Amino acid sequence: MDDLMYRMDTRERTFYERQSRFRKPKGLNRELSRLSSKSLSTGNLSSRSGESCFNGDSVSSVEVPPLPVIPDMSPTPTKKEYVEDYDYDANEDVKLEDVKTFVTPRRKTTKTADIYLLACKRCKATALSNYTRQLQAPMTASIDLANNLITAHDTKAIAVSLVRDKRIVSVDLSNNKLGPLGVMYISEMLVRNSTLMELDLSQTFPGPEGLEVLGEAMQHSGSLQVLKLEGNNIEHTEVKTIVKVMQSVRLQELYLGHNSLGYQGFSALASAIETNTTLRILDLQWNHIRRDSAKQVCKAIAANKGLRTLNLAWNGLGKEGCIALCRSLPKNVTLQELDLNSNRIDTTSLRFLLHGLVHNTCLKCVRIGRNPLTTDGAKAILRALQSSKKSVIQDLILEDVSVDDEFMTLLTKLQETKKMKVVHGEILSSGMNIKERKHDPHDLNRFDPVLVLVEYMRIDNLRLIDFFQYLDTTNREQLSRTDFRDGVANLRIPLTEHHLDIVMQTLDLKHDGYVDLEEFMTVQRDVQRQITNRTTRARRRTGKDDEGLLGLRKILKELIEKRNKENKEKAAARRFSLAWNSAVRQASNSRRFSDPVVSMSNEQQEKKNPVHLLEQLMKTDITGSTIPIPEEEVV
């Protein structure tokens, strides 16, 4: 622990010297002058109480305990034996040999949480309760410290605590301003830690200095397999460090998304991809890959023999990249998942890409959504996969790519021969596919709604004033649009909202939003005059009434008959309910006030039965027929 803190202090001092703004952290001025003093591990005892025993940051003084008195448990020797075999001073309580070989025992701390608290004390840093709580939790294998406002000073104690840890395998430090110095502390820890397998340093902004130290540490790390460096503004000048990171023997997953490697960066990175055999997942999304750099990266896929997943989403491969993939994909034998979302792939570039896909024998998942493929491009992909005998693609992701009915037909045929899952965008309906609508015999859309109301009043034998009063439920002698809507719904006249707008526009002659009786009468006379003229012209021309008016009158008669029938059924049901309740009430009253001693005959009991009373009450009906009583009601 002391040696590690000394190395971290050296890193810190060197970093500030390179930046030409070296400032010794508070508390280090006194201790840096004592770096030559020996620690407890050398085996020498300090003669002065309170002298520093550590090389590094400010360390609390360690008091040396007094020498223990070791009693002599051996038998008392003779004088001769004592002189010959022992170098013993009678005035001393401890043997000289014990004094020479005595080493002050070091207190061993094995728990990571205890080491972290001790490191915070020596570094004069505030302990993070979130980190301490996760360390103290049983069976904890991962540490999540994302978005915790951790600084480089806090990182030092965290790195010290993880050096000897044998349990933590994953650490997430993303979205914290560690800076170059904080990444240097983590790098020192990686050299000595032997169990950490996943490290997330996304958006920690290591800078060139931090990446350089991290690259050196990755050469000696023996356990790290997953490294995330997303969103760190890594530019093409720092690609050499990334190449060092990729050369790590054990590293299997590297995430470099949301950086700015650019053309020059990928030129150097392409050669590293060709020779690398350990990486299994490489994420290069959002890295400004364009034309020539895209061509070089896609060419490197042909020689690579280790990658299983490659993410090139949100770049600009275009035609040049697709041509390179056309030549490299048939040669690759390990790649299983390829992400090409949002890469400016149009129908022209798709032709070259499809040639590489149909000749590839290992790809299982292809993501090519959010590209200007159009429905024709989507159908071309299915036709190419249908005809391919080498392709083993199982998942095809076409997000936000619209398809049509022909595409769905091709997909059905393809899934009959190959087990493939396809995700696509919205299904566009063709204008030629017109669904047949069922004919509504009571459709009034082709008639003038005012004409419908006037004819309805005539067929139902309603006067205008009666119809007006029926609609005027508030008795204010004016009709609003709401009054027309409610009245038409009660009369079962199928008029739409558009029809009601026409009615109000035609009847509201004063344009005040209401229709009074005078306005209604004026419009009614005009409509009746139109009906008379239409009938006269039709009879002169054909000798018959107008066919449109005949059709309207037929529909209105059916609507009125249907309305009357429903009203009769509701009235009969209402009378039945009232009669049944009355019969039950009379039967219960007769039982309550009857003499229990007097016995009634069967005929008298039958007359007192609620069913018999109900039949007497229901003898007369509007239609003159008796309403049958349901069996379940009698029971």
Q: What is the 3-state secondary structure (H, E, C) of 206-217?
A: CHHHHHHHHHHH
| Cβ partners under 8 Å of residue 601, min gap 6 | none
Give the whole-angstrom CA distance, residue 237 versus residue 234.
8
pLDDT, position 102: 61
Integer Cα distance of 505 and 630 in angstroms: 51
- Taking residue 582's Cβ as centre, other Cβ atoms within 10 Å add up to 14
Integer Cα distance of 257 and 229 in angstroms: 8
Q: What are 115-122's contacts with CB under 8 Å, separation 24+?
A: 115/1, 115/160, 115/161, 115/164, 116/157, 116/158, 116/160, 116/161, 119/1, 119/5, 119/156, 119/157, 119/160, 119/161, 120/157, 121/60, 122/5, 122/54, 122/56, 122/57, 122/58, 122/59, 122/60
pLDDT at 609: 56
Reported as half-sphere exposure (CB side, CA atoms, 13 A), residue 499 has a value of 19
| pLDDT of the residue at 110 | 75
| Cβ atoms within 10 Å, residue 326 | 19
Confidence (pLDDT) at 13: 72
Q: How many CA atoms lie within 13 A of 441 on its CB side?
A: 7
Distance CA 104, CA 44 (A): 8
Model pLDDT for residues 555-575, shown as the tens digit of each residue: 889 989 988 898 889 888 888
Helix 464-471 with 481-490: angle, nearest 10 deg:
100
* CB 228 within 8 Å of CB 202: yes
C-alpha dihedral, 433 to 438 to 442 to 444, nearest 10° = 0
Topology adopted by domain 183-428: 3.80.10
Neighbours of 25 (CB within 10 A): 16
Q: Where are the domains of the chain?
A: 183-428, 449-560
Under-70 pLDDT residues of the chain: 1-2, 4-6, 16-100, 102-109, 430-442, 590-635
Query: CA-CA distance, 333 to 361, in Å (whole number)?
Result: 7
**Strand segments (E) across 332-443:** 337-339, 365-367, 395-397, 421-423
CA distance to 33, 50, 196, per residue, from 28 (Å) = 9, 17, 30
CA distance 505 to 511: 8
CA distances for 139 relative to 146, 162, 167, 242, 415, angstroms = 20, 16, 8, 34, 45
Size of the chain in residues: 635
Phi-psi region for residue 353, left (φ > 0), alpha (ψ -120 to 50) or beta? alpha
Element housing 394 (H / E): none
- pLDDT for position 39: 35
Which backbone phi and psi does 90 adopt, to 5 degrees? -65, -25
Assess contact for 140 and 167: CB atoms under 8 A.
Answer: yes
pLDDT digits (tens, 9 = 90+) for 416-434: 999 999 999 999 876 555 4
Q: What is the 3-state secondary structure (H, E, C) of 189-229?
A: HHHHCCCCCEEECCCCCCHHHHHHHHHHHHHHCCCCCEEEC
* Residue 53 confidence (pLDDT): 36
How high is the pLDDT of residue 586?
Answer: 77
Nearest Cα to 340, choosing from 305, 302, 367? 367
183-428 and 449-560 have identical folds: no
Residue 532: what pLDDT?
Answer: 92
Task: Say what the pTM is.
Answer: 0.58
| Inter-residue contact 364 to 388 (CB < 8 Å) | no
**Nearest CA among 294, 282, 290, 297 for reference residue 252:** 282
Q: Which of helix, strand or coil describes residue 235? A: strand
Angle value at C-alpha 303, between 300 and 308, nearest 5 degrees:
85
Token pair recorded at residue 439: 């004919």
Distance CA(275)–CA(289), nearest Å, equals 20
- Give the CATH number of domain 449-560: 1.10.238.10
The residue type found at 443 is D
Strand, coil or helix: 149:
coil
Rounding to the nearest 10 degrees, give the CA dihedral for residues 509, 515, 516, 520: 70
Tally DSSP H helices, then E strands, for the chain: 25, 11
Taking Cα atoms as reference points, which of 241, 175, 178, 170 lies closest to residue 202?
175
